[in-house]
Amino acid sequence: MKHEPIKRIKGTQDILPDEARLWQWMEQQAREVFAQWHYGEIRVPVIEYTKLFARGVGEETDIVSKEMFSFERSNRSLSLRPEGTAGVVRSYIEQGLVNAPKPLKLWYQGPMFRYERPQEGRQRQFHQLGVEVFGQDTAYIDAEVIALSARLFEKLGILGDVSLTVNNVGNPEHRPAFREALKQRLHPVLEELCEDCQRRYTTNPLRMLDCKVPTCQAHYNSEEITDFLTHYDWGDATTTAYRQTLELLSGMGLTFKTDPKLVRGLDYYSRTVFEWSTDKLGAQSAVCGGGRYNALVEQLGGAPTPAVGWAIGLERLLKLVTSPQTSPLDAYVVSFPETYSAAFKLANQLREAGLSVEQDSSGKAFGKQLQAANKRGASYALIVGVDEWANGEVTLKNLSTGEQKQYKPEEVNTLLFKE
Ligand code: HAM
């Protein structure tokens, strides 16, 4: 009986070795930047109680209301994390990190799950790299986390491909008044808006502003709405800190624009929010998003703690990165049944000495083994031939020049290291 092959779930991806090398390289760059900026890594579960995200990200957000992978176990609703911030905040509270010296600077990386309609750049399982900084509410910290993202893009060679947009969304306590004022202004055109926006009008009016439907956009871009958004008064303290953040960004030579319609898809933000986007990836243009979230720790049961952070979508980031790192293979050991054991030992000795080595024990002819060595991009073929081995020698062939010479096996690793 022939069995049907089982396919991967729609919206998920396999990352094969060639691509995984690019991931590893990118992760390495990120680790180096985080080490320099002194951010510590945190690893939290990919599964949490659903209520964490409902309370953290917001019941009315698209993420929680439509996109969670949730299921019941022992009468409790669990969810695969749709984002990283809520879990990190949960851990911050549960692990007593409130007692750690402040500001506490953390980074994380891993898979996130959102049941969205899959398309280019939008998956159901995707990966984020993120930072969260707890315990200090200053424009300097806001500017630092934004500068950190810029530094990472710079190190990856893509700073020129992404652009930064910043906005002030005020404090959560000021948001109800803002929502009401926005609704009042949009009320006359409510009937002309798309179904989603009509729903959002009651559930989450801010989200109307980033609707992609052109007729809705026309209304939100009208002079009246633009004027209202641009000049909305969020109060002195918020506005001063936001302005100072912008000044710090300019002072660092970072180019950015402000956009009063940038609202973000999660409810926890206060004051400064930002997004990095690109015009190189089609519709899914957001590469990184983040902002300050001063009320979330308290909302999730901790002591009031200001915080700020961002997350980068790694699949999108990787599409911009063009630094394919080939993995170096120092030596490809060509061997034959009579010399398999000797070659096996030699290969391991070379690995222990720090070289990257592969042994061919396929039983294929000499020429085919050499072809395989070339195909893998090996620098050398180390030929453990039957007669040579009997004479206590091996042949080292430089695969780029074609030169070859015989050596004692114990000479090989010093020779390879010299090259
Ligand atoms: P977010 O804007 O929802 O923010 O996601 C951050 C990034 O994740 C997006 O800019 C995008 O690159 C990527 N992303 C989101 N959904 C998908 C998807 N379905 N497929 C591929 N990539 C996707 C957050 O998640 C916040 N937790 C960021 C944050 C951290 N704010 C404060 N701290």
Average pLDDT over residues 86-113: 97
Asked if the model's pLDDT at residue 269 lies above 90, the reply is yes
How do residues 309-343 score in pLDDT, each as one tens digit? 999 999 999 999 986 566 789 999 999 999 999 99
Task: Find all residues with CB under 8 Å of 206, minimum gap 6, and list them.
Answer: 169, 175, 178, 179, 182, 263
Q: Indicate the top mutation candidate among 57, 266, 268 to test ligand 1's pocket, ranked by most ligand atoms within 8 A of CB.
A: 266
Q: How many angstroms separate the most distant Cα atoms in the chain?
A: 94
Q: Is 275 helix (H, G, I), strand (E, B) or coil?
A: strand
Residue 205 beta carbon below 6 angstroms from any ligand 1 atom: no
The protein residue with its alpha carbon nearest to ligand 1, atom 20, reads 122
- The pLDDT of residue 11: 97
Residue 126 beta carbon below 6 angstroms from any ligand 1 atom: yes
Confidence band, pLDDT 50/70/90 cuts, at residue 212: confident
Q: What angle do CA 278, 198, 177 make, to 5 degrees?
A: 85
Residue 142 beta carbon below 6 angstroms from any ligand 1 atom: no
Confidence band, pLDDT 50/70/90 cuts, at residue 414: confident
Asked if the model's pLDDT at residue 149 lies above 90, the reply is yes
Which one-letter DSSP state was computed for residue 67? Answer: S
To 10 degrees, what angle do helices 139-155 and 236-251 make? 30
Q: Indicate the top mutation candidate among 316, 317, 321 to test ligand 1's pocket, ranked by most ligand atoms within 8 A of CB.
A: 316
Which ligand 1 atom is at minimum distance from the Cα of 132? 33
Q: For the chain, what percentages of helix, strand and coil (3-state, to nearest 5) are there? A: 45, 20, 35
The protein residue with its alpha carbon nearest to ligand 1, atom 11, reads 313
Average pLDDT over residues 201-205: 89
Rounded distance, CA 394 to CA 27, Å?
A: 38
For the entire predicted model, the pTM comes to 0.90
The protein residue with its alpha carbon nearest to ligand 1, atom 21, reads 122
Rounded distance, CA 205 to CA 179, Å?
A: 6
Residue 135 beta carbon below 6 angstroms from any ligand 1 atom: no
Asked if the model's pLDDT at residue 39 lies above 70, the reply is yes
Which ligand 1 atom is at minimum distance from the Cα of 63? 3
**Which sign, positive or negative, has the C-alpha torsion 235, 237, 241, 247?**
positive
- The pLDDT of residue 323: 65
Contact, 205 vs 221, CB < 8 A?
no
Which ligand 1 atom is at minimum distance from the Cα of 316? 12
Confidence band, pLDDT 50/70/90 cuts, at residue 419: low
- Residue 319, CA atoms < 13 Å, CB-side half-sphere: 18
How do residues 119-132 score in pLDDT, each as one tens digit? 999 999 999 999 99
Contact, 48 vs 87, CB < 8 A?
yes
Task: Find all residues with CB under 8 Å of 275, minimum gap 6, and list them.
Answer: 164, 165, 262, 264, 286, 288, 289, 290
CA–centroid distance, 118 to ligand 1, in Å, is 15
Cα dihedral 375, 377, 378, 379 in deg (nearest 10): 130
How do residues 218-266 score in pLDDT, each as one tens digit? 999 999 999 999 999 998 888 999 999 999 999 999 999 999 999 888 8
Instruction: Answer with the residue of higher pLDDT: 212 or 5.
Output: 5
**DSSP, residue by residue, 119-168:** BTTB-SEEEEEEEEEES---HHHHHHHHHHHHHHHHHTT-GGG-EEEEEE
- The pLDDT of residue 266: 84
Average pLDDT over residues 173-180: 90
- Which of these ranges, 39-53, 83-97, 204-218, 320-334, has the smallest mean pLDDT? 320-334
- The pLDDT of residue 172: 85
- The pLDDT of residue 399: 95
The protein residue with its alpha carbon nearest to ligand 1, atom 25, reads 83
The per-residue pLDDT of the chain, averaged, comes to 94
Instruction: Provide, rounded to the nearest whole percent, the portion of the chain with pLDDT above 90.
Output: 85
Residue 56 beta carbon below 6 angstroms from any ligand 1 atom: no
Average pLDDT over residues 4-16: 97
Which ligand 1 atom is at minimum distance from the Cα of 266? 3
